[in-house]
Structure 1
Amino acid sequence: PASDAARARTVTATIGPVAPKLAALTNDVLFGDLWRRSDLAPRDRSLATIAALAANGDEAGLAFHIGLGLENGLTRAQVGEALTHLAFYAGWPKATAAVAVADKVFKGLDANAAAPAPEGLVIIPPGAQPVQGPAATFTGAVTVASPFKGGGQAGLGGATVTFQPGARSNWHSHPLGQLLVVTDGEGLVQAEGEPVRRIRPGDVVWTPPGVRHWHGATPASAMTHVAVAEALDGKSVTWLGPVTDAEYRAPAR
């Protein structure tokens, strides 16, 4: 998904030139091993992180994590309520400073949503801006490339995603549904409560809004698909826990 790819690119671009190993640890260990632990949902981890950064006065980190928290399912009202609650435990100055950071994040998102659409055609070449799929939301080797996003009021976005054999996404859902177009290889897809299904080049997969599902490669074959989804209130995906080996290796139709 485009949001995870953008986060990985941001980490690589800001940290990587000076400390490439720290950038790798941030993407693979912090956002990978820690953020993918199933004892807390990504939304709850975001809430805890926002509270900790606000209490410590870490405004730079707070801005990033407020944006991530919105992607992980927090609403703006919930962020505001968390900062209000924090005032009674960490003090008014830190809470009001955190509110100012949140206000800048919200206004930035609103400005991006209202930005005029680019004039004319936009052509994104294959394999553009490739990044590794974050371990927080994928199992195995995954590459996210050629990200795209509509301009102006358009909420459409997506990317080309390549899964190496055995790789798959976490369970997740989309508020307005998701369209997959398989372009290469052989893969698997499953909606919660339904059997695992095989998908091949030319297959078009539609997942309705709010349906929990996962998709990825087969154990023996890589798979590439173009993923397209619309955002609702700035959010296009809700990430859930990893797909277990037992779920992944269930008989497929």
Structure 2
Amino acid sequence: MKAEGRRQGILDLLMEAGTATVEELSAHFDVSRMTIHRDLDQLEQEGLLRKVRGGASVQSSGQFESDFRYRQRLAGPEKQRIAVAAASLVEPGQTIIVDDSSTAGGIAAHLADIRPLTVITNNLGVIQELSGAAGITLIALGGQYSKKFHGFFGLVTDEALRSLRADVAFVSTSSIHGVRAFHQDQEVVQTKRLMLAAAERKYLLADHGKFGRPALHFFAGLDRFDAVLTGEEPPAPMRKALHEAGIKLTVTGKA
């Protein structure tokens, strides 16, 4: 197997397992440990995984956000409940912004019953789902495509957002610490901030696993949002902190 195919195979394996040791990868691909180390070094340099002691992982850390394919596999039922609750906040005729996240992207499946709508997004999955949909005016934000985030970012994306206005923005984040939201990637943070600036109402969508998780870059205070939507109750100390700060927390509850 050539290096390119083997590295894609490593990623595919990690998308299923989350982590793997060098020994496991060496045996699976029938190559030396040194070859696997070179593969992991290259994939880490491309931002597609992180090396850990004895192996590699695509799971999130304070400085590394998972590939969208791995994130899509996490908390699926909860994210679906959040998407349904978010869609209930949309009215026909509105303009909404949907960010690159798998959580916010779930809204797309529920928009056909609310049309007509204008949808602004940098999320390639949402663009693909809504392109050509009757009653949906789709504004796809240009920019540089990120395979890791399955969306568009950069100067072109940000300039487009500065020229647009929307009724509602739905965004997610990878970390909620106290009453502030954080993310590992500063370019993603910049785009999300501009989405908030472009919208009259703003909602943060986050599965309960985001509460207390670390991330490097400050994104926004939770007081910037009209509400935080989650699918399960966060731990009691976090609920208390949100209540004392006057943050509206909406828990969708299990079906």
Q: TM range, normalised to the smaller chain? A: under 0.3
- Which one scores higher on RCO, CA 8 angstroms, separation ≥ 6? 1
The TM-score normalised by the length of structure 1 is: 0.28
TM-score, normalised to structure 2's length?
Answer: 0.27
